[in-house]
Amino acid sequence: MSRAPTLTRFLIEQQREQNTLPAELRLLIETVARACKTIGHAVSKGALGEVLGSLGQENVQGEVQKKLDVIANELLLDANEWGGHLAAMASEEMETIHLIPNRYPKGEYLLLFDPIDGSSNIDVGLSVGTIFSVLKAPPEAAGREVTEADFLQAGATQVAAGYALYGPQTLLMLTMGAGVYEFTLDREVGAWRMTDGPIQIPQGTREFAINMSNRRQWTPHVERYIDERVSGAQGPLGTDYNMRWTGSMVADIHRILKRGGVFLYPADARKPGKARLRLMYEANPMAFLMEQAGGAGTDGTTRLLDLSPQALHQRVGVMLGDRAEVAAATQAQAAMAQS
Ligand code: AHM
Ligand code: MG
């Protein structure tokens, strides 16, 4: 049996030895991790649990909700509502914020999540995940109900972030601003055990992840960046690159954290401002993890964690991974110097 420390032990030691982890934040992370265990169980049941397929309704993003999107959203809300550690929650699946009901005590943290990321993979047996980001309610929110505006903080203010990956193993990746740690779910005993960390992205891996079918909407800079890599040893870089695209950001980012490379979902050049991924509960938590693992994250010009969100469900161009690759793909090189 594995002797790797459990998540609980890791968190208690952080709290005790590093004195960096408030008790409420520890409770929050344990609660999210527990909910992810339950979500992972539902995902793995698939057709046997009657959890596959769509609900025939759309979420605030105008996307058809899968049954598991809604199940996972409910599981995260139910698990986190009553512990006293949160002021409010926000999710990809809900139009506005979810305040903690008055019958429960309230805390100072704000939790944002994408309950099931990579939803298009659910029904075809590929990996999906849950992404989460933790902020603190701003001081001016003390003594009143938090508002949606209180959530609109730059990613650099995140106090914790992570994701669960429901793949060949069920994994949890976590940062609280002092490195990135990986935990694997030990199903027999029901515990998360630390299996890697602090994680550093391997540098120099020649592998990129991009949806090539969007080529017509890339900027000339992104087009050139990809062309140079696709032309391989015969091209200006004189070396071959590999491509991977799973359609689950969690799975692609996880591969990059462990094996290196770069993930690109650029904003649309032809419809300025249009992008696919969401800033507050997809790009920001992943950028926090990437930077903590020695990588970088930009929106194509600016460091992601420096962006001031204008809306809860704002979309953003995303470039994440190996610092040198993100720098090459990013137009404003100056942005990289700050990250
Ligand atoms: P979702 O949260 O609605 O599942 O959407 C996010 C997903 C990411 O996981 C993935 O990187 C991207 O959308 C896939 O986009 P595409 O359909 O263009 O391949
Ligand atoms: Mg989703």
The tens digit of pLDDT for each residue in 307-335 reads 999 999 999 999 999 999 999 999 865 44
As a whole number, the mean pLDDT across the chain is 93
Closest CA to 15 of 23, 24, 5: 23
- Residue 338's pLDDT band, with cuts at 50, 70 and 90, is very low
> Residue 300: left if φ>0, alpha if ψ -120 to 50, beta else—which one?
left
pLDDT of residue 339: 46
Q: Rounded to the nearest whole angstrom, what is the distance from the C-alpha of residue 36 to the centroid of ligand 1?
A: 19
- pLDDT above 60: residue 158: yes
Q: Which ligand is nearest to the CA of 122?
A: 1
Closest CA to 155 of 175, 126, 179: 175
Model pTM above 0.75? yes
DSSP string, 209-252: E--GGGGGGS-HHHHHHHHHHHTGGGSTT-S--EE---S-HHHH
Which domains does the chain possess? Answer: 7-195 (3.30.540.10), 207-338 (3.40.190.80)
- DSSP-assigned beta bridge partners for residue 132: 113, 162
Cα 221 from chain centroid (whole Å):
26
Average pLDDT score over residue span 172-199 = 96
Closest CA to 298 of 269, 268, 267, 274: 267
Whether residue 34 has its Cβ less than 6 Å from ligand 1 = no
pLDDT of residue 122: 87
240 vs 67, which has greater pLDDT?
240
Distance, in Å, from the CA atom of 331 to the CA atom of 327, rounded to the nearest integer, reads 8
Q: Rounded to the nearest whole angstrom, what is the distance from the C-alpha of residue 20 to the centroid of ligand 2?
A: 31
Q: Atom 14 of ligand 1 has which residue's CA nearest to it?
A: 247
Closest CA to 32 of 204, 176, 137: 176
Pocket test for ligand 1, best of 210, 211, 279 (most atoms within 8 A of CB): 211
Q: Rounded to the nearest whole angstrom, what is the distance from the C-alpha of residue 175 to the centroid of ligand 2?
A: 21
DSSP, collapsed to helix, strand or coil, labels residue 118 as: coil
Q: Which ligand is nearest to the CA of 277?
A: 1
Q: Atom 4 of ligand 1 has which residue's CA nearest to it?
A: 118
- Residue 21's pLDDT band, with cuts at 50, 70 and 90, is confident
Q: Rounded to the nearest whole angstrom, what is the distance from the C-alpha of residue 74 to the centroid of ligand 1?
A: 21
The tens digit of pLDDT for each residue in 236-266 reads 999 999 999 999 999 999 999 999 999 999 9
- DSSP-assigned beta bridge partners for residue 183: 172, 194
DSSP, collapsed to helix, strand or coil, labels residue 311 as: coil
Q: Rounded to the nearest whole angstrom, what is the distance from the C-alpha of residue 273 to the centroid of ligand 2?
A: 20
Distance, in Å, from the CA atom of 337 to the CA atom of 327, rounded to the nearest integer, reads 9
Whether residue 268 has its Cβ less than 6 Å from ligand 1 = no
- pLDDT above 90: residue 46: no
- Residue 57's pLDDT band, with cuts at 50, 70 and 90, is low
Q: Which ligand is nearest to the CA of 92?
A: 2
Closest CA to 66 of 46, 52, 48: 52
Whether residue 69 has its Cβ less than 6 Å from ligand 1 = no
Average pLDDT score over residue span 45-62 = 74
Average pLDDT score over residue span 190-195 = 97
Q: Rounded to the nearest whole angstrom, what is the distance from the C-alpha of residue 207 to the centroid of ligand 1?
A: 19
Which of 39-43, 60-64, 239-243, 327-331 comes out lowest in average pLDDT? Answer: 60-64
